């Protein structure tokens, strides 16, 4: 039997999603509790990896178990035992050939910026920038990422790999009060891709990079003309996955 978990988590205290030796991760924490509740070793397969400090409203992961389970009871048991910064929001049975990663059609990410005074309550959940940001400049540049592009210069994926082409279906910028949200919907994203794209957008808006930086660094195998900084992980959220 194959089941799909929908998971919300605050990534502040974890070294990312993927299991690592001697590190606290989201995957490891859930696997340990699942194995305890089901009394058998369980391995979960996520829709993708989130970096240390990145959050999720709706990460997805599947697992296999030999027996049928009561999903309502399982959800209750898991949430009773998991730490309070990880919550299972839904569990459902899926087809045996379903895969949380390879069956995904779209992923939605959001980056949150507070363009104003720091708040102690949001210190681990947004990027604070006091200098006023020009939303028009952000909108003019974020749209350049839409479509099918070679994103080699916007990922930390190893150079010995050669598949850097991805499609981004939608991008936009929203502002409400001091809060600015940058949204990206795509078929999938490479390591640090969104954080590097956000870093470039912010550097352009703050006049730290030239206005044509994105144009020069998309669809080229050449080394970055100027390296943009990765935006901090704390502002990034996985909002959902479409199947």
Residues catalogued as catalytic: 51
- 59 near 46, Cβ under 8 Å? yes
- 69 token code pair: 């389970």
DSSP-assigned letters across all residues of 154-202: G----TT----EEEEEEEEEEEETTEEEEEEEES---TTHHHHHHHHHH
Q: How does 117-134 read in b/e, with b if 16+ C-beta sit within 10 Å? A: eeeeeeebbbbbbeeebe
- 235 near 54, Cβ under 8 Å? no
- 25 token code pair: 């991760």
């Amino acid at each position: 039997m194959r089941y799909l978990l929908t998971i919300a988590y605050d990534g502040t205290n974890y070294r990312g999603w993927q299991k690592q030796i001697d590190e606290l991760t989201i995957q490891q924490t859930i696997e340990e509790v699942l194995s305890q509740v089901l009394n058998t070793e369980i391995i979960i397969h996520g829709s993708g990896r989130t970096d240390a400090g990145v959050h999720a409203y709706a990460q997805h992961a599947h697992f296999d178990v030999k027996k049928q389970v009561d999903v309502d009871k399982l959800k209750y048991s898991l949430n009773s035992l998991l730490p309070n910064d990880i919550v299972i929001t839904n569990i459902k049975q899926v087809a045996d050939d379903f895969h949380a990663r390879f069956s995904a059609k779209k992923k939605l990410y959001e980056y949150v910026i507070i363009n104003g005074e720091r708040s102690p309550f949001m210190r681990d959940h947004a990027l604070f920038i006091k200098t006023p940001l020009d939303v028009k400049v952000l909108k003019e540049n974020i749209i350049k990422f839409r479509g099918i592009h070679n994103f080699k210069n916007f990922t930390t994926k190893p150079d010995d790999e050669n598949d850097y082409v991805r499609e981004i279906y939608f991008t936009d910028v929203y502002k409400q009060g001091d809060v600015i949200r940058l949204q990206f919907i795509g078929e999938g994203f490479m390591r640090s891709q969104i954080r590097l794209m956000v870093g470039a957008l912010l550097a352009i808006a703050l006049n730290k990079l030239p206005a044509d930086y994105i144009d020069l660094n998309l669809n080229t195998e050449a080394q970055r003309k100027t390296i943009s900084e990765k935006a901090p992980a704390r502002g990034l959220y996985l909002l959902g996955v479409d199947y």
